[in-house]
Every structure is written in C-alpha cells, then in structure tokens.
C-alpha cells in the first residue's frame, strides 16, 4: 500500500512541474511591473529586473499540495488495492517522459536563447500533447499495449529481422544524405573559406594528381594514403573538384556508419542496439560543439579519418569466433594499410593489433586454443611482420624510389614531431576546456580514457582467468584502440578533438549494455533496449547542430540562412565570415585587390534564401579570369607559383601544378578584404622552405594577389603577417608586374 502512495505522490509532483512550466511560458507574455514606480531613484531603475519566479514557486507548491489532497480523496478506495499499482506504473512512466520532454524544451529555449524558435514550437506541441494524454490516457494505454504485443510477436519472425535490418540501413543513409550540396559548399566557402577542406585533401590531393609526392614535393597533414586514395577515388564521383569531393566524403561516411550498424548487429546480435549505436556515434562524432555549425567544415574530424577500422574490428571478431588464420592475416593487412592511409590513426590501429597478437600468444589457454600447432604459431608471428610489410609495400607503390629517400621520412616524422611538441596548432592544455567553462567537454575528456582503461583492466583480467568467453577479448582491443586514439586529444585538447575518436566509447557502451541485458527477462530486455534507442534518437534530434543539418528531415527549405534553424555562435554572431568580421579598421589597407574600398562582407541575414546564397557562392568562387591569365603565361605541366587566397581553386581552374611544398600557402579570406591574408604555416620551416624554392626554381612568373602590390602596410603586419610580408618583399624585389587578371597580378622575374 505504501508503494501506491509513493506512486501517487510521484505522479502529482510530475504534473505540478508540467503545470508550472506551462504557466511560466504563458507568463512570459505578460511582463511584470516593478511595483516601485516613484519610490526609487531614477538611476536605479535600470538595475531592476522584475520576474514571476516567486509566483511560479508558490504555484508549484500549491498545485502539488492541492493535487495530492484531491487525488487522496478521489482515489482513496483504489489506493488500498495492489492492482492499482500496475496501471499507475505505466501512467507514471508516461508522465515522466512528458515532463522530461517539456523541461528539455524549456532548457533548450534557455541555452539557445539566440535561436529558440524550434524549442518554442516544440514546447507548444508538447504542452498540447500533455493535455491530450491526460484526457485520453485509457485509449492511449490500450492502443500502446496492443502495439507492444504486436511488435513482440512480429519480432519472432526471421523475415521481420531481415526487413528491420534493411530498413535500418536505409534510415542511416537517409539521415546522412544531404540534397543540394551546392548550398553546403556555399556555407563552407563563406564560413571559413574552405580552410580545413583544403588542408585535408584539396591542396595535397591536387598536388598528388599532378605528380607531386606527399612529404616529398607537397606537405600532407594527415598521411600518404589519405591523399593518394581519396584523390583517385574522387574520379568516381565526377572528378577532383570541391563538389565531387564532398559527394565522396558523404558517401564514405554513410558507408562507415552502415558498417558500424552491421558490426554491432553481428557482434551483439541486436537490431535495436545496433541502431542506437549509430545514433549515438553519429551524434558524438558529427554534431558536437567543436564542429559547429556543420560537420563537413572539418572533414578530418569525420569518420573518413578512420578508414575501414570497422572492417578491421569485424575481422578480429571473426578470428576470435572461428580461429581461422585467414581472418588474422586480413586484419594484419589492414593494420599496415591503416598506417599508410593516415599515419597517426594507423599507428593506433597497429598498436591495438599488436596488443591482440600479444594477448593471444601470452595467455596460455588462448595460445592453446588459437595456435594449437607450431606451424600455426609461426603463421601468427608472420602476421605481425605482414602488417609492417604491407604498410611499406603501399608506401613503395605510391612513392616509388622516394620511399628510400631521407627527405620523405624526415618530412613525415618531422610534422608528427612538430604536432606532438605543440607546433602546428598542437598545443592546448588539457584543462583548457575548464578555463572557458566547457564543463561537459572537460568531463567527457576525462571520462573517455577512464572508461577505456577500466574496460581494458577488467575484461583483460576476466579473459586471462577464463571467466568470460574468448570473444570478449575484442572489448579489450577496442579499449586499447580508444586509448591510443585519445593521444590526439592529449596533444591537442580542443573541443574539436575530444569526441572525434569516440567510436570505441560507443562500442564499449553497447558491449556493457548487452552484458547487462543477459540478466534480464525478454520483456524488460525489450523495454531497456527501446529506452536506449529512444534516448539516442532524442540526443541526436534535439542537438542544434543536427537541427541545422540540411538533410531530408530538416524543418526549413532554406536551412543555411533561415534563422529558425541556422546555428549561430553563443555571442549571437552569425557563422558567415566570422573569422574576418572582427578585424579592426586600423589593420586594413586603403583598397582591396579590385582597387575598391567596399569589402562586401556578408552575414546570414544578407540572403533571403539558400538559392541566393548558392548564386553568390558560384560568382565569388569562380576565378576563370585569373586562371586564363595563368594559362596564357605558363605551360601545361609547369609548376606554378601562386600566392593568393583560394590558390588551390585557382590552380584547379588553371589546370596547373603547384610549385610550393607548403600548400596551401595562405589562410584564405574573402577576396574583397582590404587586408593581407595570413600564412597557413604548419611548420617552423615555412618561410625558409618557400624562399629556398623561389631561389632554386627561379620561376619566370609568380602570380600574387593584387593586394600584395600595395607598398604601405600597417605596422602590425610586420609581426602578425611576418612570413607573408617577407615573401612578398622577396617577390617584389625580384619580379615586376607583367599582367593582371581579376584578383591576381602576374609578376615576371627581372633579376
């Protein structure tokens, strides 16, 4: 009986919270007066902020007390029977969900006060739903019960499982798919001028397709294979240009998350859990605060970074289950390929693979099970060598004899060392997120390694003691892989980094949940899995970065410029041109590259529709006139020196090979800016390398942005733009103007 009263009290408190939240929302329409007119000094009036908080506090108390009293009066007979409890539990669950959603909408209105429109609409819909649920609870309860029984019966049919798997894969593709990619490119262009896009692939990829080797002729931030493979793969999507490359990246990410679903489905055997794993991983990796407002701005933080590590984990699982050496050999091949594909991530894969091999060889019962004969033991040792041999073989196939050169190995390891020691944007204290009050980021940053280490120690001990199945060793391998990937966050503790490698965390969470479900009955197992799926969907669909994501499910027809969904920064400033808008007037030059004062720096409010934004992008990102200038003065196949914003796009349009090792040279900014663009140096040797190339190659022409022709520059440039200023000074000292395009000037060497 006491349980009945506890349930009743809980229901009353939840309804009182709903009533208070609804009243609080309604009272916003009626601002309270101060009640102190004529009683305070005028200069104090600005400090008064009248509010309804005390009224709401009293309403909450009165609603709860009166509601409890009324319920005790009307239900005094029912409360004496245990049968009432069963129905009350279901109703309590429904009211708890409704209260959570209402308060969540109110919370979103508060934290997204610069763009609260969707949360306001959601609150209104939920308020109506809360009222209707109370009026028609009996009917809703009956319908939901029949639906649950029907789903339980259908879930026993194999054909339903096949349909659910197919439907889940279609849903994954639909959630990721983006129609109208031109508008995405327009946002990448006007937001950060393709800075990260160029560094990740466009600049090193264009150099590679023109015969320049990564780390030999052109720098690559991420590795050899990512440049060689993706630049060639782009031909399947229409050629190497920004639109085909974006199509390719979205396709690869879609395939990656489909593979994630298949892995969890194959490993843990649950459709619901596999789908929940997708929603959580998609939310964590693609829509955290560090990649605001659009995940494609930072392609290096997408799953493209991790290659086919999902397939690699599936191969290890297949080996654990079957014991067949062929799966171990294939996993070894991929471990080497991962090192070739992306150096830092490949090192993590290789470390986890060697941990797996070491565990199989070191634990006696695992060694006897998987390597029962000396011949098989030799094959296992051969797999360890195979991984390194595969990596070296792929390097050789891509680089040829350069793989033996000191230059290649020096340049590749040098960049890694620069990053590890704080150069190239690598240094940020791990407590930096606390200083800027990113408390959740800081919490997750410490939770991830703790969860990995705990899983490694616990599962490792149980496997060694034969307390669990052998295949549980995969969880320990995932933990090692997660710890290895975590080094990226340790070195660069930025909000763009901490969730990027969260896939091992998601896999381990699914693993622990699956283990816990083994101790529950079928009914509760379905309830827990359904709740996990619902929470994962909630976490994704209420995230503002996802709400602004321009997929098929977006609320707006113009998600890039519609302030209802377009993500703004917390300072209420728009994303468009956010890097250049704060520039002070004293740091600007008299005119821009067009000889004009007008800079045309636009914001989201400057466009009425996404179509208007796309038209603007197509006009501003077309450098045909400058490309013709380059083509008229250089030969096909000739390495061309370009010093300008958007140099990669200009070289693409001109169909010319870049000269400089450091590409891009420039951190691009709008061409109409009245300021020098900054250098894009990610190496202390940037200036020395560039001047040496100019002196040794002695190109007949150097093509520079016309803004560099201005003689008098602000004193701040000598410090903030020292590298670019020095390069421009060298070019102007050895070259003279021989022609002009729209934004570029052709300078011919005279000494």
The full 3-state SS of 560-620, as one line of letters, equals CCCCCCCCCCCCCCCCCCCCCCCCCHHHCCCCCCCCCCCCCCCCHHHCCCHHHHHHHHHHH
- Region for residue 162 given its phi and psi (left: phi exceeds 0; alpha: psi -120 to 50; beta: otherwise): alpha
The radius of gyration of the chain's CA atoms, rounded to the nearest angstrom, is 30
pLDDT under 50 in the chain at which residues?
A: 426
User: Could you report the per-residue pLDDT of 526-550, keeping only the tens digit for each?
Assistant: 889 999 999 999 999 988 888 889 9
User: Could you report the per-residue pLDDT of 131-167, keeping only the tens digit for each?
Assistant: 999 899 888 888 888 887 887 777 777 777 788 899 9
pLDDT (0 to 100) of residue 89: 87
pLDDT (0 to 100) of residue 579: 86
Give the CA angle between residues 729, 732, 738 to the nearest 5°. 160
Buried b vs exposed e over 707-716: b needs ≥16 C-beta within 10 Å? bbebeebeee
pTM: predicted TM-score of the whole model, two decimal places: 0.91
673 DSSP assignment: -
* CA-closest candidate to residue 575, choices 367, 272, 296: 296
pLDDT (0 to 100) of residue 717: 79
Residue ranges of alpha helices (H) inside 136-241 are 137-154, 158-176, 181-192, 195-197, 203-209, 225-233
pLDDT (0 to 100) of residue 279: 96
d(CA 432, CA 443): 12
Cβ atoms of residues 644 and 747 within 8 Å: no
d(CA 347, CA 489): 15
pLDDT (0 to 100) of residue 43: 57
Give the torsion sign (CA, 362, 366, 368, 370): negative
737 DSSP assignment: E
- 742: helix, strand or coil: coil
Beta-carbon contacts of residue 363 (< 8 Å; ≥ 6 apart): 463, 464
pLDDT (0 to 100) of residue 319: 95
d(CA 314, CA 618): 43
- Token pair, residue 721, equals 């733009």
């Amino acid at each position: 009986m006491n349980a009945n009263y506890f349930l009743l009290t809980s229901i009353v408190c939840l309804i009182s919270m709903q009533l208070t939240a609804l009243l609080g929302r309604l009272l916003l329409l009626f601002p309270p007066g101060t009640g102190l007119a004529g009683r305070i000094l005028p200069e104090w009036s600005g400090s008064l902020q009248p509010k309804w908080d005390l009224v709401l506090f009293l309403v909450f108390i009165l609603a709860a007390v009166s509601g409890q009293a009324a319920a005790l009066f009307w239900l005094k007979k029912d409360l004496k029977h245990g049968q009432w409890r069963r129905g009350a539990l279901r109703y309590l669950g429904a009211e708890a969900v409704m209260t959570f959603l209402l308060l969540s909408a109110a919370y979103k209105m508060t934290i997204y006060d610069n763009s609260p429109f969707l949360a306001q609409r959601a609150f209104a819909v939920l308020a109506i739903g809360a009222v209707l649920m109370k009026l028609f609870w009996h009917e809703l309860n009956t319908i939901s019960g029949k639906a649950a029984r029907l789903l339980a019966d259908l879930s026993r049919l194999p054909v339903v499982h096949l349909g659910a798997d197919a439907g889940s894969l279609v849903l994954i593709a639909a959630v990721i798919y983006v129609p109208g990619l031109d508008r995405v490119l327009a946002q990448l262009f006007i937001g950060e001028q393709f800075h990260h896009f160029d560094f990740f692939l466009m600049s090193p990829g264009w150099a590679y397709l023109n015969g320049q080797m990564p780390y030999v002729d052109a720098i690559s931030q991420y590795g050899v294979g990512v440049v060689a493979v993706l630049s060639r793969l782009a031909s399947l999507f229409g050629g190497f240009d920004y639109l085909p490359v974006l199509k390719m990246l979205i396709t690869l990410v879609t395939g990656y998350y489909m593979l994630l679903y298949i892995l969890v489905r194959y490993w843990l055997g649950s459709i619901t859990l596999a789908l929940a794993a997708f929603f959580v991983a998609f939310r964590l990796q693609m829509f955290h605060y560090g990649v605001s407002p659009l995940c494609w701005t930072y392609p290096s933080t997408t799953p493209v970074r991790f290659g086919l590590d999902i397939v690699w984990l599936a191969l290890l699982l297949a080996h654990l289950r079957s014991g067949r050496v062929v799966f171990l050999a294939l996993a070894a091949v991929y471990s080497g390929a991962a090192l070739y594909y992306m150096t830092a991530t490949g090192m993590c894969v290789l470390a986890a693979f060697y941990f797996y091999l070491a565990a199989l060889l070191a634990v006696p019962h695992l060694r006897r099970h998987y390597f029962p004969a000396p011949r098989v033991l030799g094959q296992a040792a051969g797999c360890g060598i195979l991984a390194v041999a595969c990596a070296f073989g792929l390097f050789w196939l891509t680089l040829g004899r350069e793989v033996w050169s000191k230059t290649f190995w020096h340049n590749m390891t040098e960049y890694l060392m620069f990053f590890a020691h704080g150069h190239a944007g690598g240094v940020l204290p791990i407590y930096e997120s606390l200083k800027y009050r990113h408390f959740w980021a800081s919490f997750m940053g410490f939770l991830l390694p703790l969860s990995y280490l705990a899983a490694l120690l616990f599962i490792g001990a149980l496997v060694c003691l034969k307390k669990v199945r052998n295949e549980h060793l995969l969880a320990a391998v995932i933990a090692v892989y997660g710890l290895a990937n975590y080094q990226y966050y340790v070195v660069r503790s930025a909000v763009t980094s901490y969730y990027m490698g969260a896939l091992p965390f998601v896999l381990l969470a699914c693993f622990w949940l699956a283990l816990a479900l083994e101790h529950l009955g079928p009914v509760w197992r379905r309830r827990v899995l359904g709740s996990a799926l619902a929470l994962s969907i909630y976490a994704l669909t209420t995230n503002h970065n996802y709400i602004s994501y321009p997929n098929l499910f977006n609320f707006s027809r113009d998600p890039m410029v519609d302030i209802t969904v377009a993500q703004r920064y917390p300072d209420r400033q728009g994303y468009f041109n956010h890097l250049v808008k704060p520039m002070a007037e004293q740091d600007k030059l008299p005119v821009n590259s067009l000889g004009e004062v007008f800079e045309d720096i636009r914001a989201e409010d400057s466009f009425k529709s996404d179509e208007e934004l796309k038209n603007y992008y197509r006009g501003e990102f077309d450098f045909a006139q400058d490309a013709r200038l380059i083509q008229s003065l250089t030969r096909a196949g000739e390495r061309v020196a370009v010093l300008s914003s958007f140099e990669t796009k200009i070289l693409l349009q001109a169909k010319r090979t870049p000269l400089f090792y450091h590409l891009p040279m420039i951190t691009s900014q709008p061409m109409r800016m009245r300021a020098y663009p900054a250098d894009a140096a990610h190496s202390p040797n940037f200036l020395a390398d560039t001047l040496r190339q100019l002196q040794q190659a002695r190109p007949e022409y150097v093509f520079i942005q016309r803004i560099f022709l201005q003689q008098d520059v602000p004193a701040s440039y000598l410090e903030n733009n020292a590298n670019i200023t020095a390069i421009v000074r060298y070019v102007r000292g050895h070259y003279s103007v021989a022609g002009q395009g729209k934004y570029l000037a052709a300078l011919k060497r005279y000494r």
